[in-house]
Amino acid sequence: MVEHLPDTEGVTGSNPVSRTIYFQFRTLIPLNPAMNAVPPAPDELSALLRLLDDETPEVREQVAQRFALCGGDLSEWLATQSRSLSKCELTLLSKMLSPTRRETLVLEWVAPSGGAEALQEDWESFEALLRILSDFLHDGISLRQPLSDALDLLAEEATENGVNSPNELRQFLFDGIRFTGNQNGYYDPKNSDLAWSISEGRSNPLGLCLIFILVGRRLNFEIEGVNFPGHFMCRIFEDGHPIIIDCFDNGHLHDQFALFESQNLTRAQRNLIGESVDPGSILVRLLNNLREAFEKMDQEDDELLIKDLLSSLR
């Protein structure tokens, strides 16, 4: 009712209907301050969307506070709405949802006791941490499958297409259609979000290799990671013969023994090619990639958060 509405003097903003929407919006907010911790109902969410581009500080603050209670992800609800948001509105909404995703990452991140070395062959815990990172990196507005579901479906599709070996999986994934190297966005943080990479069909070398490895594990294939400096790769075995795969280069094959004889490699690099890398080391490399990506984008809060995650793995 009108008598319950706060003073809206100065609440005009750049939107000509700002004052009207603000009144509608305020009638949907619980009058009891203690109830303000309750997530917005659908009707209130619709009103909040109409206020996204309002430049009035008071309105913007209250809208942000209400969106902060949405769990950081409105993608499924947005998909049911007939109104399409502009690019500017989508950017604002994603930004308002991001603090909750950051908080969720901190709460759900459970580093193994003993740090990264304790992961060893614990691929299940490793994938769980990748899922948490994926949820954090999600924009909160685009509809997509959760990471594990996306990996399961890729494995099922590979099986339906007659994939029976690691090399056939290489051809299936990196045939130039399903997955390619993200050449234009090599340092994009989203490359570390494997759910995004699967949805978009592109990633950096590490992201593509992880998709190869994790899908391969679902099919009981032996696929190893190769922690080569500056360019992560994979290794499979054909009749016991080791073959290096460059997933970023459409799954290009390299004979490992031929690489050992290359004059362009140092002894240390040859040693690295011959070693397999454990999940803990892969996770540290992925977080370092993510930290550098946030640094390049001047996202200091996210960079510091990733540094904290790295510290938890020591």
pLDDT, tens digit (0-9, with 9 covering 90-100), for 40-67 = 998 899 989 989 888 888 888 999 999 9
Most confident of 74-78, 174-178, 261-265: 74-78
The answer to whether residue 272 scores a pLDDT higher than 60 is yes
Tokens coding 228: 């080569």
| 198 and 299 fall within a common domain | yes
Looking at the structure, do residues 213 and 226 belong to the same domain, yes or no? Answer: yes
Per-residue pLDDT band for 84 (boundaries 50, 70, 90) equals confident
pLDDT > 70 in the chain, percent: 89
Question: CA-CA distance, 219 to 179, in Å (whole number)?
Answer: 19
Whether 113 and 240 map to the same domain: the answer is yes
Residue ending a domain, choose from 56, 71, 105: 105
Domain termination residue (choose one: 105, 132, 151): 105
Within this chain, do residues 128 and 245 fall inside the same structural domain, yes or no?
Answer: yes
Q: What is the mean pLDDT of the chain?
A: 88
Query: Residue 36 has what pLDDT?
Result: 59
The reply to whether 245 and 134 lie within a common domain is yes
Residue type at 89 in one-letter notation: E
In this prediction, residue 268 carries a pLDDT of 83
Residue 202 and residue 64 share a domain: no
Tokens matching residue 283: 């996770």
The answer to which of 22-26, 163-167, 198-202, 306-310 has the lowest mean pLDDT is 22-26
Are residues 281 and 148 part of one domain?
yes
Final residue in a domain of this structure, among 64, 80, 105: 105
Contact partners, residue 129, CB within 8 Å, separation at least 6: 109, 283
Q: Give me the domain span that covers residue 193.
A: 109-312
Pick from 236, 239, 260, 255: nearest CA to 171: 236
- Shared domain for 140 and 191, answered yes or no, is yes
Do 80 and 214 sit in the same domain of this protein? no
Statement to judge: residues 11 and 155 lie in one domain: no
Number of structural domains found in the chain: 2
Residue 169 to residue 93: CA distance in whole angstroms: 38
Q: Are residues 271 and 209 in the same domain?
A: yes
Looking at residue 32, what is its pLDDT? Answer: 47
Close Cβ partners of 42 (under 8 Å, ≥ 6 residues apart): 77
Q: Angle of helix 279-296 relative to helix 205-218, nearest 10 degrees?
A: 150
Average pLDDT over residues 106-129: 94
Q: Is 11's pLDDT higher than 50?
A: no
pLDDT band at 10, cuts 50/70/90?
very low
Note the pLDDT of residue 261.
Answer: 84
Domain co-membership, 37 together with 134 = no
pTM of the model: 0.86
pLDDT digit string (tens) for 87-104? 999 999 999 999 999 999
147-184 pLDDT, tens per residue? 999 999 999 999 999 999 999 999 999 987 899 999 99
Residues 121-145: what's their mean pLDDT? Answer: 96
